[in-house]
Chains A and B, each alone.
Chain A
Amino acid sequence: MNKIIRYFSKRSSWSLPYFIFLLLFVVLPLLLIVLYAFRDNQGHFTVDNFVKFVTQKEALNTFIYSVGIAMVTTILCILFGYPAAYILSNSEFNKSKTTVLLFILPMWVNFLIRTLATVTLFDITGLPLGQGALMFGLAYDFLPFMIYPIYNTMMKIDKSLIEAAQDLGASRAKVFTKVIFPLSLPGVLSGVLMVFLPTISTFAISELLTMNDIQLFGSVIQTYIMQSDTMNYGAALSLIMLLIIGITSLFTGGDAENESPGLI
């Protein structure tokens, strides 16, 4: 009995529930994906699923298209999000925190609801659904995830640096290009990670906003996984996407971590 009490009073043993949770809901599913990806319908080991991805153009094309859409979405988010974050972080323009809240507020509403609302919006105004609607919807959905990290980084810029730049002869425009912009880049990077990566794997948004016309990589994976005979191929596609996302975050993640901006 004493042994048990001593075991549970140790701080390290408190992590046990989380450890079990991670094992059951993160590590095990990942292992299952790997397992399924390397098997065929009969359960034999194979690498055919990966060969199929490279040789059959269909999935590969969807993947490249998805990356393209994600890039456009990210660029749109930077174009709209950066000035918004700049204005929000500048006390001259933005006197209250309420405006910040208004920009962040959409994040509290579920993705699907916002997307359905966008569909309705397009219906009412008579605008056609399709690629344009998809890009609008994605940019709209992910904009707060771009604004917030940039805003956070800008808020952390020491105001005395701006004064020092002015003092050394920098006009308002020069202060921006020489000090604020370079110092806000870690925030932009963080925003890119939060917009670009989730957009590649998104599926519900593309289905709703294009009337199932355009399939993004996420939708393709979903379609394959839902059918039992193509489940292994779907698992392989998931694994490929995971690897690519993992590699991209490795490239960008190191720097973003040092500057500790925004949400992650």
Chain B
Amino acid sequence: MALAENKKEPEAHIIDVRHVSKWFGEKQVLNDVNLYVRKGEFVTILGPSGCGKTTLLRILAGFHMATEGEILLEGKDIAQTPPYKRPMNTVFQRYALFPHLNVYDNVAFGLKLRKMDSKEMDAAVRKALKMVGMTDYEERDVNSLSGGQQQRVAIARAIVNKPQVLLLDEPLAALDLKMRKDMQLELKDMHKTLGITFIYVTHDQEEALTLSDTIVVMNEGVIQQIGTPTDIYNEPKNCFVADFIGESNILEGTMLKDCLVRFMDKEFNCVDTGFDENEPVDVVLRPEDIYIMQRNELAEQFHGIVQSCIFKGVHYEMIVLTPDGYEIMIQDYNSFEPGTDVSLIVKPADIHVMKKERLCNTIEATVVDSDHIEMLGEKFQILPTDIEPGTEVLAEVGFDKIDLTDYQEDGTADGDVRLIIYKGNHYHLTIATDEGPYLYVDTTDVWDDGDLVGINIKPEDIRIKVKD
């Protein structure tokens, strides 16, 4: 799977999602989603809660209608097809087993509706139950089963219908860790044996990496990246993906020229090309890719003092503070006591450079009078301007020029913190304003996800540009 634009063999696609947007009232939950799924593929839609992944799955299942765009199944538009006519079955997060039926009748539910011959049905039900390891449970009341057993029955109930596509909505989320790991392997085996296309929704990045052929990373209703698990892990497209998948150090940098990047006030050789000279970039260093050793000035690229060292089972996780004030996370099999002076090395191939999505906030605004503009639904003071009142303009504000307050009343506008990315020596926050547009803020203050904040911007920090 990849973006629909670069499709190669359209005949092999079982599902095409084209320009799908979904609004619930005033709130947009999906924004121009494009993807395709190949026949027999295991695709995972991954993202934090509220990113629209479940909505996308429910649109595929037919429980929601897309506000815009089309859904193709083997090339045919199925937007108007009701759920009961779609050759897909869903495994629900909270199982949704019928409490008035026993295990056997739950599994046979779909087959009975299709008026299948009873001998054939019996064989199919038993085969499905065997596949999920629930033989001998036929007569059991579903309420007497454990969570794991209920989920197995729910899976059997779906696969017994031999759907073309199996949709799984966080099926393992309610299970404990050990059970989840076992079920992951079983699901992967099942996928191989059945040859059915699986579309799997989860917020668990490890689960996604373990199970999938292809991962679709979503955030705030927008697809962030589509790729194989290794692509997503090694070549994240933006800070969100780098931060969401695995642990990472994300740092501000500048691409001096091809294969030479500057970050933490030092120059590093890397393997990335195709950037403008002196283009600002984000640099990702995976904590396991940084070599740590006792201080040796001759062999080091940079150095620092170990701040903390935590044993994580397989490895130790250490935070090292460099003399320039950057905090770097490092994972290594060897431990270094806090206070140790250490040298650090990172190989050029392990430095991943990402294009910045934006260099400052650009907000749509309207000039009110000579020293006010209206943006984010509020009036902001600006330096005197001679632009005609009523003109639509773009206001540019630097990431570090936005002041956040604890109390929403203290701000000119207000919003809530949606995403926090630590960049070694400061936080990069995404703030959703009440009016809709996102603001991006660099700050050294500690905020939590979901905090309600007031937003203030000084007049001299707002640059006005007339729209073309």
Contact = CB atoms under 8 A, between A and B. Distances in A.
A165 interface: yes
B302 interface: no
Given A169-B110, A183-B100, A164 B90 contact: yes
Interface string B76-111: 000000111100111010101111100000000110
A163 B113 contact: no
Nearest to A174: B113
Contacts of B85: 169
B59 to A, nearest CB: 13
Interface string A160-189: 110111111111001000110011000000
Contacts of A169: 84-85, 110, 113-114, 161
B92 A168 contact: no
Interface string A194-210: 00000000000000000
A167 B83 CA distance: 6
Given A168-B109, A169-B84, A160 B89 contact: no
Contacts, number: 60
Contacts of A174: 84, 113
B237 interface: no
B96 A168 contact: no
Interface residues of B, number: 24
B84 A167 contact: yes
Interface of A: 158, 160-161, 163-171, 174, 178-179, 182-183
B85 to A, nearest CB: 8
A189 B190 CA distance: 43
A163 B169 CA distance: 13
Contact of A160 (B84, B88, B92, B100): B92
6 contacts: A163-B90, A166-B63, A166-B82, A168-B158, A168-B161, A171-B82
A163 B98 contact: no
Nearest to B99: A183
Given A166-B82, A166-B84, A161 B89 contact: no
Contacts of B83: 163, 166-167
B41 to A, nearest CB: 21
Interface of B: 61-63, 82-85, 88-90, 92, 94, 96-100, 109-110, 113-114, 157-158, 161
Contacts of B158: 167-168
A170 B84 contact: yes
Contact of B61 (A158, A165, A167): A167
Nearest to B114: A169
A217 to B, nearest CB: 36
B372 to A, nearest CB: 42
B96 A161 contact: yes
B89 A167 contact: yes
B110 A163 contact: no
A191 B268 CA distance: 78
Given A158-B96, A160-B94, A161-B96, A168 B157 contact: yes
Most buried by B among A166, A167, A170, A178: A167
Nearest to A183: B100
Q: Give the top 5 A-B pairs by smallest Cβ distance, nearest first.
A: A168-B110, A164-B96, A160-B96, A166-B83, A169-B113
Contacts of B99: 161, 183
A166 B89 CA distance: 10
A261 to B, nearest CB: 13
Contacts of A179: 98
Contacts of A163: 61, 63, 83, 90, 92, 96
A178 B82 contact: no
Given A161-B99, A168-B161, 8 more contacts: A163-B83, A163-B92, A165-B98, A167-B84, A169-B84, A169-B110, A169-B114, A174-B113
A179 B110 CA distance: 12
B248 to A, nearest CB: 36
Nearest to B61: A167
B98 A161 contact: yes
B32 to A, nearest CB: 26
Contacts of A170: 84, 109, 113
A166 B92 CA distance: 13
Contact of B109 (A158, A160, A165, A171): A165
A9 to B, nearest CB: 42
A174 to B, nearest CB: 6
A168 B114 CA distance: 10
A158 B100 CA distance: 12
A9 B92 CA distance: 51
A144 B47 CA distance: 47
A79 B105 CA distance: 29
A222 to B, nearest CB: 43
Most buried by A among B84, B94, B110, B114: B84
Given A174-B113, A178-B109, A168 B94 contact: no
A161 B110 CA distance: 13
A87 B271 CA distance: 65
Nearest to B160: A168
B344 to A, nearest CB: 51
Contacts of A164: 90, 92, 96-98
A204 B157 CA distance: 55
A158 B95 CA distance: 11
A45 to B, nearest CB: 51
